Amino acid sequence: MKYTEFGNTGEKVSVIGTGTMRIARMTDDEAMTFVTTAIDSGINFFDHADIYGGGESERVFGRLFRKDPSLRAKMFLQSKCAIHDGMFDFSKDYILHAVDGILDRLNTDHIDSLLLHRPDALMEPEEVNEAFTELHNAGKVRYFGVSNMNAMQMKLLQNALDYELCADQLQMSLAHTPMFDAGFNVNMTDAPAVMRDGGTLEYCRLKGMTVQTWSPLQVGYFQGVFLNDERYPDLNAKLDELAEKYGTGKDTIAYAWLLRYPAKMQVITGTSSPERIRSAAAAADIRLTRKEWYDLYKSAGNRLP
């Protein structure tokens, strides 16, 4: 396993992080296998959100911590809040309330990182700073970040914060590349030239923020995985070719493609399968060549100008 710095904190986190969205219905034994497989594979980063399974994913971990308190010290534990009742909410009262719920469900006195889950158009940055300050001073949250925010939204928020934003969690996969597309098609009039994010990747690199990728195998917004999908014959052929070259699976190559981008990259897996967790962990040891990276990008149906 390889590790990257979490923002500018000096804290090292595994470049593969384990997502917990699909574990809400696991038995305690299944969950323990899920966790220990990740830890044994060198993964120390576990990503939650208060909405995953309606809070049940966090409760699963809370039960594990009761059974084996030593597990908590082996983890960098992250959760997210802001989505509730059909809206996004960055109000101070809600953030404080949400974190108390997170800690109660996880059965821990602190989380290592809190992300604001989706941008709130009614955000008042100074109020967010008040919430972060209370949480940090109380020892409930060590570091802060965001999810699904563009560069200008982060700049606006950061301007009022006493704490550096450490991470931005963004959708990215071989079949979802708008942040790359716009960079290749600058000053052109075709659809890929439309910049939908305002230079988010570049902003994260300038600020030393960790880029966390969610849905790393998905097509679009939960339209299924691209592996073995007949809509992506050329991509799957190229993945097969590189999987054979590197002696690994196609999913591992897809994760390695994301890790090849020269930022503080962290892939957040969505799998609950121990076998798939081990396959993801193997991506940390693969560095694709520049040509392989571009060949995969083009095989997914993208073109270079």
- Across all residues in the chain, what is the average pLDDT? 97
Residue 221: predicted pLDDT: 87
Tell me what the mean pLDDT of segment 274-281 comes to: 97
Tell me what the mean pLDDT of segment 90-100 comes to: 98
Residue 111: predicted pLDDT: 98
Q: Hey, which residues are catalytic here?
A: 52
Tell me what the mean pLDDT of segment 90-118 comes to: 98
Residue 222: predicted pLDDT: 85
The percent of residues above 90 in pLDDT, for the chain, comes to 98
Contacts 24+ apart (CB under 8 A), 292-299: 292/242, 293/257, 293/260, 295/238, 296/174, 296/235, 296/238, 296/239, 296/242, 296/253, 296/257, 297/174, 297/177, 297/180, 297/257, 299/232, 299/234, 299/235, 299/237, 299/238
Tell me what the mean pLDDT of segment 147-156 comes to: 98
Beta-ladder partners of 173: 176
Residue 80: predicted pLDDT: 98
Tell me what the mean pLDDT of segment 241-246 comes to: 98
Tell me what the mean pLDDT of segment 236-252 comes to: 98
Tell me what the mean pLDDT of segment 215-221 comes to: 94
Q: Where are the beta strands (DSSP E) in the chain?
A: 3-5, 12-14, 16-19, 45-47, 76-81, 83-84, 87-88, 111-116, 141-147, 165-171, 210-214, 264-269
Report how far apart the first and last C-alpha atoms of the chain are (Å, whole number). 36
Residue 183: predicted pLDDT: 94
Tell me what the mean pLDDT of segment 89-94 comes to: 98
pLDDT tens digit sequence for 63-79: 999 999 999 999 999 99
Write down the CATH superfamily of domain 3-299: NADP-dependent oxidoreductase domain (3.20.20.100)
Tell me what the mean pLDDT of segment 182-196 comes to: 93
pLDDT tens digit sequence for 114-149: 999 999 999 999 999 999 999 999 999 999 999 999
Cα separation, 13 vs 38, in Å, equals 13
Cα separation, 99 vs 78, in Å, equals 11
Residue 220: predicted pLDDT: 85
Cα separation, 38 vs 279, in Å, equals 11
Residue 265: predicted pLDDT: 98
